[in-house]
Structure 1
Amino acid sequence: MKNRSDRRPRVLYLAFYFPPSRASGVYRARATANHLVEKGWDVTVCAAPLDFLYDVIGSVDEELSKTVDPSIHVERPSLNHYTWQHDLREFSWLRRSFPLMAKRVYQFSQTKLFPERYSSWAWASVVRALKLHTKKRFDVVIATGNPFASFGAAWMFNKLTGVPYVMDYRDSWTLDLFHDEPAFPKGHIAWSWEKRMLDKASAAVFVNEALRGWHAERYPEVADRMMVVPNGWDADVLPKAAETAVEEAARAAAVDGSAQDSDDQKPLKFAYLGTLTAKQPVEEMAEAFKIARSHPDLAGAELQIHGHLGFFKNSPGTLKARLGLTDEGSRPEGVEDTGLRYCGPVSKTEVGKVYEEADVLVFLAGGGRYVTSGKIFEYMAFGHPIVSVHQPGIAAQDVLDGYPLWFNANSLDVDELAASMVAAGKAARDLTPDQRAAARRHADTYTREATLIPFEQRLREIVGA
């Protein structure tokens, strides 16, 4: 029989959003699981059921699944679809026969047990994990939120088995990031649940220092167990960015001068890549680009929008109309050409091409001071000029600080934004291999490998203890 020290450490990863999901948090979960396997861990993931991803929210990227290490074992516990069901034919027997009783049972679970509609998945994950644990012991649990019911599942599993757990806050549960204020009223059970879970956690992880500080102030007794693990960019699915700056400079130097002169005359291509939502300052971005495009240096320039409009298949389709976005290559007759183009969604495995073909990247972000956004790490990896379109003082500015091609109006005033877009366009025209190399060196400090090393080491300390 093998001693514990002779086998790979075993981790249970509670990550609802895992490939083929395309939710924003899935990239951190995918990278973490792959990194742990690479470092010698035995990884089991409890993720969302496939029928929920495909049939309920219609939010998938099947190509992303191919980037998951095949040795990772994925379990998909069940989820009660109560709040997502609107077709009577999908209702359970209880809900069809006794709708008021079914509603009261659901409301009781939300107000008295755990205040999140994903809680049924969390408890199903505990049951599934206990069965797996009896066959082969888990050494540590990582729970990533949202949904934050994963934290509750980790707490319950620890209570039943004693296995230590780590809470990974990809997002904040009790802080409203878009209004910089508490997300729940005083006395709400979310507060007692968060304190209960943090008290027993071996570590709590946050994506930036601002979020860590906010939670440390409210839970000072566990502040010494809190750490920051920022997001990063994924070299395995961004092969162009993984090329060294030296190779890039050598290729650029070999380009014929006349060809470069010809490229300088082409209209500039601005690009935004990500999920567009109503919480972002999209109108300000569109109006600023319209103003900037009147400048001679940006004549004929395009701002291409790559990505989904909202996270769910039934998300409102009003964004395109509000911004006057058109599908690539078409514009309704009589509509002014604003230069904005909607190019549709892009698989994670294809985003490198979008970034590489752009001249300027537009970093559009919603929310306030606690927001970083995972996209900014990818943006930096390609060494292009980056224009910020967001509220002043968000946490992403800490990441961008030191990036030599960052153009930040530090305002949402459209004229100031337009001026920063014009400046970024000029920088793109005059960009040298050395400048791009310097930008990429800054980005190299934020590869997933670099950001996850301290986290993996902390997990080993927890298991060793």
Structure 2
Amino acid sequence: MKNRSERRPRVLYLAFYFPPSRASGVYRARATANHLVEKGWDVTVCAAPLDFLHDRIGSVDEELSKTVDPRIRVERPSLNQYAWQHDLREYSWLRRSFPLVAKRVHEFSQTKLFPERYSSWARASVSRALKLHTKKRFDVVVATGNPFASFGAAWLFHKLTGVPYVMDYRDSWTLDLFHDAPAFPEEHIAWAWEKRMLDKASAAVFVNEALRGWHAERYPEVADRMMVVPNGWDADVLPEVVEKVVEAAPDEPEETGEERPAPLKFAYLGTLTVKQPVEEMAEAFKIARRHPDLADAELQIHGHLGFFKESPGALKARLGLDDGPRPDDVEDTGLRYCGPVSKTEVGKVYEEADVLVFLAGGGKYVTSGKIFEYMAFGHPIVSVHQPGIAAEDVLEGYPLWFNADSLDVEELAASMVAAGKAARDLTPDQRAVARRHADTYTREATLIPFEQRLREIVSRPAAD
């Protein structure tokens, strides 16, 4: 029989949001699984059940599934969907017959066992993983959150088997990123669970230094096992960048004899949410269009409006958009909602843009995975977010970054005008310099240290 050193190391990857999910964290999960397979790992993923993605949240991108390496084995353990069921016909026998009993059982599981509605999936994942482990043992478990029940599953699997595990914080569980404050009161069981899980973890991974530092301060006894693995951009689904500069449109020349330049295209690409300063972005662009350099400019919004079926209406209202024709007496704000874009088609959106608008919610602990793609295309980037967020550490050194360092709409408008001028004057050499900054953030580059850490963990003696 081959020993561990002679066979491919085997990883159990607990990633609830995995293709075809289009949740914001799915790209990190997809890239991590693909990277590990490419580096010689045997990868098994436990992900969300498909009926939950399709029927409950309606949040899928089928094209993204085609970018998952076929060597990856994907398991989809069950999820008790009590919290999402609103149709009596879907209720279990217990809930139909004894609704109060069913409610108390559900509340007990949330308040006394594990404080997250995905905990049933975590238990099902452990059960499925144990069966797979008896046939061919796993060497390490990687759990990515959210949901954070995946961390609980990794902890339980370790308790039952001794297999080491790594916690990948794509997001923060106990820190509210939008208010820079604890997400739970001090007596909440989430704190005890987080400490319990971190104590036994072989490593804990964070997307930026700010988040690592916050957790290291709260859990100093495990700070030496914490590391930063930033997000990055996915070269396998972004085509070669077309060197593009703004060309003159074939309009009739003005009286001066000079050709009128084509209207500038500003673009935001990503899922729009209620946590982002969308009103400030819309108002600032409205003001910026009054400048001659941005006359007739458009701000094209590409992507989904929220993560849930009921989200689009509220977001359109906040943007000042509606589905009907605009009356003649209503000012054209230049905002255009262009609809969802598959991950495999985003390159075209970036190529056709002149300026990219980086819209982000939250405070100093927020990076946002989208910024890495933005930089990869070498366009001017306008920041629309709170000053001091962690994404600024990534953008520092990017030569085409325009940051008002404020959410004041007049200042934002001024930065949009400046970015538009830069787009007009942009040269291929300037784009090349900008892209060199982005090359340090390919997924390949950011995941190399993580894969090396996993190999170190697997190579340790079992008693370590």
TM-score norm. by structure 1 comes to: 0.95
SS of the residue corresponding to residue 441 of structure 2 reads: coil
The sequence identity of aligned pairs, in percent, is 88
2:334 aligned residue: 339
Is 1:48 aligned to residue 44 of structure 2?
no
User: Which of 440, 449, 460 is the equivalent residue of 2:455?
Assistant: 460
Could you tell me whether the CA contact under 8 Å between 1:144 and 1:169 is conserved in 2? yes
Distance across 1 between alignment mates of 2:96 and 2:7: 50
SS of the residue corresponding to residue 166 of structure 1 reads: strand
Distance across 1 between alignment mates of 2:130 and 2:336: 50
2:106 aligned residue: 106
Distance across 2 between alignment mates of 1:228 and 1:195: 19
1:414 aligned residue: 409
Structure 1: 5+ residue stretches without partners: none
Could you tell me whether the CA contact under 8 Å between 2:248 and 2:260 is conserved in 1? no
Question: Could you say if the C-alpha distance between residues 158 and 342 of structure 1 is closer, same or farther in structure 2, counting changes exceeding 3 Å?
Answer: same
1:122 aligned residue: 122
Amino acid at match of 1:185: P
Distance across 2 between alignment mates of 1:226 and 1:454: 13
Deviation of the 1:4 alpha carbon:
1.7
Is 1:180 aligned to residue 184 of structure 2?
no
SS of the residue corresponding to residue 380 of structure 1 reads: helix
1:19 aligned residue: 19
Cα deviation, 1:211-245, whole Å, max 9, x if unaligned, reads 0000000000000000000000000000134x7xx
1:445 aligned residue: 440
2:236 aligned residue: 236
Could you tell me whether the CA contact under 8 Å between 2:376 and 2:438 is conserved in 1? yes
Amino acid at match of 1:439: A
After TM superposition, list the pairs within 5 Å mapping 1:368-383 onto structure 2.
368-383=363-378
Cα deviation, 1:103-134, whole Å, max 9, x if unaligned, reads 00000000000000000000000000000000
Is 1:363 aligned to residue 380 of structure 2?
no
Is 1:31 aligned to residue 43 of structure 2?
no
Could you tell me whether the CA contact under 8 Å between 2:198 and 2:222 is conserved in 1? yes
Cα deviation, 1:349-372, whole Å, max 9, x if unaligned, reads 000000110000000000000000
Could you tell me whether the CA contact under 8 Å between 1:229 and 1:451 is conserved in 2? yes
Distance across 2 between alignment mates of 1:418 and 1:258: 24
Could you tell me whether the CA contact under 8 Å between 1:390 and 1:411 is conserved in 2? yes
SS of the residue corresponding to residue 239 of structure 1 reads: coil
Is 1:387 aligned to residue 382 of structure 2?
yes
Deviation of the 1:318 alpha carbon:
1.5
Distance across 2 between alignment mates of 1:315 and 1:90: 23
Distance across 1 between alignment mates of 2:49 and 2:259: 48
Could you tell me whether the CA contact under 8 Å between 1:238 and 1:349 is conserved in 2? yes
Amino acid at match of 1:42: D
Deviation of the 1:326 alpha carbon:
4.9
Distance across 1 between alignment mates of 2:193 and 2:249: 65
Distance across 1 between alignment mates of 2:90 and 2:192: 34
User: Which of 307, 314, 330 is the equivalent residue of 1:311?
Assistant: 307
After TM superposition, list the pairs within 5 Å mapping 1:185-200 onto structure 2.
185-200=185-200
Distance across 1 between alignment mates of 2:455 and 2:221: 23
1:397 aligned residue: 392
Distance across 1 between alignment mates of 2:247 and 2:263: 20
1:435 aligned residue: 430
Distance across 1 between alignment mates of 2:416 and 2:393: 21
Amino acid at match of 2:275: K
TM-score norm. by structure 2 comes to: 0.95
Distance across 1 between alignment mates of 2:259 and 2:235: 28
Is 1:66 aligned to residue 66 of structure 2?
yes
Cα deviation, 1:430-464, whole Å, max 9, x if unaligned, reads 00111100000000000000000000000000000
SS of the residue corresponding to residue 363 of structure 2 reads: coil
Distance across 2 between alignment mates of 1:40 and 1:256: 46
Distance across 1 between alignment mates of 2:276 and 2:260: 32
After TM superposition, list the pairs within 5 Å mapping 1:262-281 onto structure 2.
265-281=261-277
Distance across 2 between alignment mates of 1:330 and 1:445: 45
Deviation of the 1:263 alpha carbon:
8.8
Could you tell me whether the CA contact under 8 Å between 1:77 and 1:121 is conserved in 2? yes
Amino acid at match of 2:376: A
Amino acid at match of 2:83: T
1:300 aligned residue: 296
How many residue pairs end up in the alignment? 455
Deviation of the 1:258 alpha carbon:
9.8
Could you tell me whether the CA contact under 8 Å between 1:326 and 1:341 is conserved in 2? no
Distance across 2 between alignment mates of 1:240 and 1:394: 30
SS of the residue corresponding to residue 383 of structure 2 reads: strand
Amino acid at match of 1:293: R
1:203 aligned residue: 203
